[in-house]
Amino acid sequence: MLDIGFSELLLIGIVALVVIGPERLPKVARTAGHLFGRLQRYVANVKADIAREMELDELRQFKGEIEDAARSVERSIADEVSLAEREVRALAQEADRTIHSALGSETPPVSLTDAAPTNLPAEASPQLELSLGPDATRSPESKAQ
């Protein structure tokens, strides 16, 4: 802090002894020591506050960088999801066209992407009937007769 050598301290002590006097010199020296201690603690606190502020600024900057990186990752994931969604829709439409052309029906195909899921009760679900010949269309009661 201050570059004071032994000779400067000796000169200050002699001037203080002459000016203050030998009776009050110990009390003034004690008061000066307390004030010097307070000054050192104040300087240490100011240095600590400055260091904390610098760390806080660095943390804020780091937080901003992390948020930017998170937004970038979020954007890239959203882009990948939308790309995958488009590919799935294209495949579903292609499957619809393939099924429609294989069946050769006159009705337009129902798109898998447009169809809403339905929750039908078990009694209302459509049944697949296989026809094996003229007897297959008769009910089980008519076969027993």
Assigned token pair, 79: 């882009």
Greater confidence (142 vs 84) lies with 84
pLDDT at site 102: 86
Prediction pTM value: 0.43
Place of tokens 């393939």: 98
Identify the helix (H) or strand (E) that includes residue 35.
Answer: helix 25-103
* 89-140 residue pLDDT tens: 999 999 999 998 888 755 555 555 455 444 444 444 444 444 444 554 454 5
* 69-100 residue pLDDT tens: 999 999 999 999 999 999 999 999 999 999 98
Q: What are phi and psi of 23, to 5 degrees?
A: -75, -40
